[in-house]
A and B are shown apart, each in its own frame.
Chain A
Amino acid sequence: MMAQASGARAAGEKKATAVKCDNVEVAIKRKLILNGISFDIPAGSLTGLLGPNGAGKSTLMRLLTGLLEPDSGRVELFGRPAGTDRLGELSFLPDRGQLPPHLTAGGWLDLAAGIYPDWNREREEELARELGVYRDKKIGTMSRGEEARLQLLTCLAREAPLIILDEPFAGVDMISRERIASAVVAEMADGQRTFLIATHDIREMEQLFDRIVLIGEGAIRGVHDVEELRLGGRSVESCYRDVFS
């Protein structure tokens, strides 16, 4: 009875908003990098942030992490302003981030487990199996694909409700890309986590997205529900081409 009642309530509720940007502007050295950015990301969704190089994707992601403040406008995570005090609620994989090369994977994971209060050792072990990360391997001897898998593991072993990945596939071999995509999907299956992924690899990722946010020259160029696009006979790739070419 109880379960039924709460199920009915959940079905009637509107999905919470994980990320909200309202008319955000950022200028760096008097150059406008982000201009009038407004969009929402519903909680529990996997949103792709797509756009050409230099569009402002990384700047936008840094705003969400609170590492950068907007010159005007508002950025909210789960209904409250973003900022460095919210870092515990999000897990961020920076573009071209590097892990300490002198450590082994296991050494790094032990260090990370000590840094993050929300680290889950059981998840860490499960993810290491799924992603094929070996504890004995030294980071300095890893291929780009192996290091990318270890970085993703570092993001996902935490229990943060919002995961932000900046170009998780850049320079990564096909097999590693597939393993990363599988781990991301498995991770969101219970609907508890929200993912925002900036990527160039549209073909690899388009079956994963619920929603896409297109950004070009510092402005939002479209926000689409992906299945609605397909109902109209369009793929993510064709939509991207229509907007950017």
Chain B
Amino acid sequence: MPPIRGWTAQDFQIDPSRPLYEQFVEQIRAMIARGELEPGTRLPSVRETAASLRVNPTTVMKAYQELERLELIVTFRGQGTFVTQAEEAIRLTRRQLAKEAVRRLEETARSIGITLEELWELSREKE
């Protein structure tokens, strides 16, 4: 099993004018999607995470709860919190992230009055 993964404040880019727990959820989710946090990795406890990131423990608790609801992490009583081993949950998250990215691209395309396909073509046109 991959070893416990400790965080440092440098692992996260935090915007102080947006809810903090949302940003931790987004960034940990992306780490799991890209395999930087491997399935089965043990995450540090709420107390350890709060201390190493220097954030309120309630924030960490809310982030962990949301990641659990998304089935990306699992807590086993007395053993700790781990990245899910369920390939399906990770695949689903990658698909959601892809959809979100495409939606943002579509917005960009619409803002300059073209479709997503046209945006793609246009970006690949030779000078």
Asked if A124 is an interface residue, CB under 8 A from chain B, the answer is no
Q: How far is the CA of A189 from the CA of B52 in the complex (A)?
A: 12
Whether the pair B17, A210 counts as a contact (CB closer than 8 A) is no
Whether the pair B50, A230 counts as a contact (CB closer than 8 A) is no
Within 8 A of B (CB), among A177-210: 178, 181-183, 185-186, 188-191, 206-210
Which residue of chain B is the closest to A234 with respect to CB atoms?
B17
Chain A interface residue count, Cβ-Cβ cutoff 8 angstroms: 25
Asked if A238 is an interface residue, CB under 8 A from chain B, the answer is yes
Whether the pair B56, A46 counts as a contact (CB closer than 8 A) is yes
Within 8 A of A (CB), among B1-58: 14, 16-21, 46-48, 50-58
Chain B contact residues, majority secondary structure:
helix
B47 cross-chain contacts in A, Cβ below 8 A = 186, 189-190
Asked if A236 is an interface residue, CB under 8 A from chain B, the answer is yes
Q: How far is the CA of A88 from the CA of B25 in the complex (A)?
A: 40
Q: How far is the CA of A185 from the CA of B46 in the complex (A)?
A: 10
Q: How far is the CA of A113 from the CA of B51 in the complex (A)?
A: 26
The smallest C-beta distance from B9 to any residue of chain A, in angstroms, reads: 8
Whether the pair A182, B52 counts as a contact (CB closer than 8 A) is yes
The residue that A207 contacts in the complex, of B14, B48, B51, B52, with Cβ under 8 A, is B14
Whether the pair B56, A236 counts as a contact (CB closer than 8 A) is no
Whether the pair B16, A237 counts as a contact (CB closer than 8 A) is yes
A23 cross-chain contacts in B, Cβ below 8 A = none
Asked if A235 is an interface residue, CB under 8 A from chain B, the answer is yes
The smallest C-beta distance from A233 to any residue of chain B, in angstroms, reads: 6
Chain B interface residue count, Cβ-Cβ cutoff 8 angstroms: 20
B17 cross-chain contacts in A, Cβ below 8 A = 230, 233-235, 238
The smallest C-beta distance from A242 to any residue of chain B, in angstroms, reads: 12
Q: How far is the CA of A63 from the CA of B72 in the complex (A)?
A: 48
Whether the pair B51, A183 counts as a contact (CB closer than 8 A) is yes
Which residue of chain A is the closest to B19 with respect to CB atoms?
A230
Q: How far is the CA of A237 from the CA of B15 in the complex (A)?
A: 12
A191 cross-chain contacts in B, Cβ below 8 A = 57
Asked if A227 is an interface residue, CB under 8 A from chain B, the answer is yes
Q: How far is the CA of A230 from the CA of B19 in the complex (A)?
A: 5
Q: How far is the CA of A234 from the CA of B17 in the complex (A)?
A: 5
Q: Which residues in A have some Cβ–Cβ distance to B below 8 Å?
A: 46, 178, 181-183, 185-186, 188-191, 206-210, 227, 230-231, 233-238
Sample of 15 further A-B pairs with CB below 8 A, known A189-B47, A231-B19: A182-B52, A188-B56, A190-B47, A191-B57, A207-B16, A208-B54, A208-B55, A210-B58, A227-B20, A230-B20, A233-B17, A233-B18, A234-B17, A235-B16, A236-B16
Can you spell out 13 A-B residue pairs with CB atoms less than 8 angstroms apart? A46-B56, A182-B52, A182-B54, A185-B51, A189-B46, A191-B57, A207-B20, A207-B55, A208-B56, A227-B19, A235-B16, A236-B16, A237-B16
Which 6 A-B pairs give the minimum distances between C-beta atoms? A189-B47, A235-B16, A186-B51, A235-B17, A189-B57, A182-B51
